[in-house]
Amino acid sequence: MNINLKFDNEKIYKECIKLGEEENFDKLIPILNNLIKDENFNENWPIKFLGIAYYKLSKFDYAEYLLKQFVEKEPNDYQGIVSLCFITIATKKYHDCVKFALRAIKLDKNNPTAYIDLAVAYEKLNEHEKNLTLLQKAYKIFPDVPIVVNNLIAAYFTLGYDEEATSLAEELYKKKPNYHALLYNLGSIYLQNKQLDKSLKILLKNSKIEKYKFFSMFLTSHVYFYKNNFKLFRQFYQFRLDSANHQTNPLKYLKVTEY
């Protein structure tokens, strides 16, 4: 669906856009349901908006049902198909995500979103070579999109291309010194390469950010272990033991793949 079409009720459309941006779903959802039920309203966009609203509310099954219904009616709607990518990643239906992402890329080869979704699905399916090939292609198209570059760094790191991963990560770090997903990857790379002081500087900086705090402190404990500072090793490692939600292999260095 082309959002530039003249809708039967443009005022309602703009109001729904505004409510969606504000995430005022208590008010938005009843409006959308009423539009869908109204036999005199013949536009399909309320179905998509309702699906996206339920996705944001983590009601994934109903969101998927609505968005599949929408893309049957509007098969060339990029946003609708990409929204299905997000949902299938959230519900771990990675094979479905691959299908939707490939479909979205055919519709718009100049939008990085579907490339990222496809890369995430490939990684989750352990299709690491496909992931790397895809991200190398995406990097040629979007060399200045940080999430594309950072995911390519992670793909190189996964397959043991340490030189390529390090070079690309240091290059991006010069441009984006506060890009925290990158900092985590770069700290991991330095740790694996036993560049302990560099790794420590990066990881301590990142441990202040809540999203990356746990894993950054976890890897920091390894840095202190290799530096023979066992007091700080125990202190940082205890943080891992105190976390009830963490399950990871302490012997495996970690990476961040974003979406």
- Mean pLDDT, the chain, integer: 89
Contact 9, 41 (CB under 8 A): yes
Domain range annotation of the chain: 144-259
Which superfamily does 144-259 belong to? Tetratricopeptide repeat domain (1.25.40.10)
**pLDDT number for residue 183:** 93
Tokens read off for 104: 């979205």
192-208 pLDDT, tens per residue?
999 999 999 999 998 88
Residues of the chain with pLDDT > 90, as a percent, come to: 76
Q: What is the value of pTM for the model shown?
A: 0.85
Distance CA 34, CA 41 (A): 10
* Mean pLDDT in residue range 218-234: 91
**pLDDT number for residue 241:** 64
* Mean pLDDT in residue range 55-79: 97
* Mean pLDDT in residue range 91-97: 97
User: How many residues in total does the chain contain?
Assistant: 259
Distance CA 79, CA 43 (A): 16
